[in-house]
Amino acid sequence: MKRLLGIASILMLCTVSLVNAQHGTTIALQSDTQIFSGLAYNQATNTLMVSSSTDGHIYSVGVDGSLTPVIQSEELTSADAISIDKATNRLYAVSSTFGGGRGPGQGFNGAPPEGMTPPEGMTPPEGAPNNGGAPPDGATNGETPSEGFPADGQFPAAEATLYAFDLATGTSVFQVNLTQIAPNGGGFIGQMTLDAAGNLYITDSAASAVYRIDSSGSPTYLSDSNFQAQQQQGRGMAMGIRGLAYDGTNLLVSKMSDGSLYRINLSDGSVQAVQISDAPASLGELAMLADGRLAALDRMNAKVVTLSSSDQWQTAQVSSSLDISAGASAITAYDNTVYILESNQTVDNGEQGTPVTPQFSIVSYTL
């Protein structure tokens, strides 16, 4: 029996070749060690960068597939999502572990716990509840297990930390504990993106929230009932918001469970569903293209789709659809080219789950 290793990607510093794929160039790598999950394009050096969930290092990818460590921090033991701010030459990385047993909060909450001062803007709309980061009524933030739930230790608490690094020196700029920003925070970190002012945004499906971290490291968050996770057929985990992109004015947030797309107006924090004609069954990670189109991973159908809008993302249409690997796990873009971290790997369980030598790749598509 074989099973698919679909979310993580494994890379290794050996036996690398470049081949021409049907839709672009593929950097193929062989590995059975490092697990890589984050992908970003460094415009300053015109190189791709990947993050390792195994050793926490951030690597620059050469045109021949070679990997050069750029960030090696003792504090960063596992690196998941990454994002690069060209203006400040900073690299952001999230290290997270998924916990369990806590449901998502509801509505707008807005402020981190007492003692943390949120930056201006992206606060709850007038009249909306602001509970100062405390859990909703009846919730306990997991500190006291509900009746019938496993005892402490059986469901480990979620942990997630954002690290900011200076790319020139590799030194740490600041850290933010994402677990403490919102109720149920840090449970299921998704994607990151930056706005023109250098604010960083992060999706968290477990908290049904989008975090905003300003350039000094001050956090706040925005929560909405539309962001709540929904169960997908055939999946053991409820899937909520995942992808995130900035169009120059608004944030666009995708929901994996049903293919929904939401527009967040950054001036007032309002959330509006984008009406999509012939919407895909699932929308995961996002990447904004130079011409204003939005590229999105549709993992359920193993496709990358592009969406276009003529009314500032009140409505959208699917403008193209391209078959990709079923193991696609991350996407980034530069100009109108997208780069996708793909993996079509299996494990043969015939002899105690002996791994089959994996083949992983970063594939480029000009859309």
Q: How much is the pTM?
A: 0.77
Beta bridge partners, 192, equal 202
**Running DSSP on this structure, what letter comes out for residue 197?**
T
Beta bridge partners, 96, equal 160
Cα dihedral sign for 50, 363, 309, 226?
Answer: negative
Average pLDDT for 53-79: 88
- CA 332 – CA 64 distance, rounded (Å): 19
For residue 92, pLDDT beyond 50: yes
- Which has more confidence, 233 or 359? 359
Average pLDDT for 98-123: 39
Q: What would the pLDDT profile of 31-47 be if each residue is shown by its tens digit?
A: 667 777 899 999 999 99
Coil, helix or strand at residue 350: helix
For residue 103, pLDDT beyond 90: no
Q: What is the pLDDT of residue 219?
A: 96
Alpha-carbon distances of 169 from 72, 83, 141, 148, 324, rounded to whole Å: 11, 17, 38, 50, 36
Looking up tokens 């059975």 gives 32
Domains and CATH numbers, the chain: 2-140+157-366 (2.130.10.10)
